[in-house]
Amino acid sequence: MIGAYRPPGARSGGGRGGGLAERMRLEREGAGVAKKVEGVSSILAKNRAQSGGGAKIPVGYVPDEPAKKSKSAIAKEKKKVKEEADKKRKEEEEAAQKVLEAERLSSPEAQLEEKEKKAKKVRKALKAIEDLKAKEGAGAELNEDQRKKVAGEDELRRQLAALGL
């Protein structure tokens, strides 16, 4: 009869099932499953020899098998190594950038360029103050921040004079 249900005990010919109890019995006797699985019988024999020959070992216990890392543990380890390498590389790049920046700033051309940038910024702020004064002269009311900006005009003029540009 094709397609008929057969319980697990009736499936593989001999009439005996391949359940856990059967496998445990065969393993205790040292036959059957231990011989079917490659290497297990040699591990069992080795364990028996180490434990004094006749000592009982828990069923399924294989102490000498090397511990294997899971895929996620291996992936985490690789990620950690990569992050450490990236961090080291980034620190080296930052150190090199600092050295280059220090060399660039030490040159007279760079110092002049920095002064010009500061002067441009101060001039822009003075222009904004002039615009605010014109607004105030036209009758517009200035808010508190705008009044503070206008009050700081003298300091900006002193900074511009100190730059010497």
Domain layout of the chain by residue ranges? 107-165
pLDDT digits (tens, 9 = 90+) for 34-58: 444 445 556 656 655 655 555 566 7
Give yes or no for residue 108 having a pLDDT over 50. Answer: yes
- Predicted confidence band at 16 (pLDDT cuts at 50, 70, 90)? low
Q: What angle do CA 40, 57, 63 make, to 5 degrees?
A: 55
C-alpha separations of 150 from 26, 139, 161 in Å: 97, 15, 18
Distance CA 80, CA 32 (A): 45
- Taking residues 15-38, report their average pLDDT: 64
Residue pair 61/24 in contact by the 8 Å Cβ criterion: no
The predicted pLDDT at position 35 comes to 45
pLDDT at 38: 47
Q: Which helix (H) or strand (E) holds 77?
A: helix 71-106
Instruction: Please give the pLDDT value at position 142.
Output: 86
Paired tokens of 115: 């002064």
Buried b (16+ CB within 10 A) or exposed e, 30-58: eeebbeeeeeebebbeeeeeeeeeeeebe
Residue 129 binned pLDDT confidence (cut-offs 50, 70, 90): very high
Indicate the residue type of 165: L
Residue from 19, 24, 31 nearest 58 by CA: 24
User: pTM of this prediction?
Assistant: 0.38
Query: pLDDT for 70-102, tens place per residue?
Result: 899 999 999 999 999 999 999 999 999 998 888
Q: How many CA atoms lie less than 13 Å away from 146 in the CB half-sphere? A: 12
